[in-house]
Chain A
């Protein structure tokens, strides 16, 4: 096992970790906008890390160039799609969830 394979194993493990964090945030967070935050950033970072690990494993060839194209495309479009969905939800009239003020908490 060479050094490049060890680097790619670390990158792919990091990507799988971030994808798991994004998925857990998708079901644990209480609000639609916070769910957008979880899946828009953590999931994209995990996907980019996995593709970067595959580029390191592949080396310098045509396939790694195609993988680089996929990496740039996903890094541009995945946050764009999440942003469009969040803007549509805001215009649809979904209210964000705010913390209750401290005065009402003291009353109860």
Chain B
């Protein structure tokens, strides 16, 4: 199934492309994109199924950190190239549309 480049998907890809080598966890991505975490999760899952994104659980002891382990996401090498190409070809969402989306929590 081809990946639909919705505004929300573009926001997630832009956030990940900011520094393709950097790993980001769910809340971080949600804050960066303005999307609610529940909206970002299915997008990340779809990107992962397409092979654009790889993820892993953080290797920490929750009792020591006093929080659950985070799931980190990063673009794969192929994913970064594909995302750049897709975003350059995609119609850029207007600023007002993005602001409205962020205010609504980005629900698809």
Chain B binds chain A = no
Q: Give A contacts to B, CB under 8 Å.
A: none
Q: Give B contacts to A, CB under 8 Å.
A: none
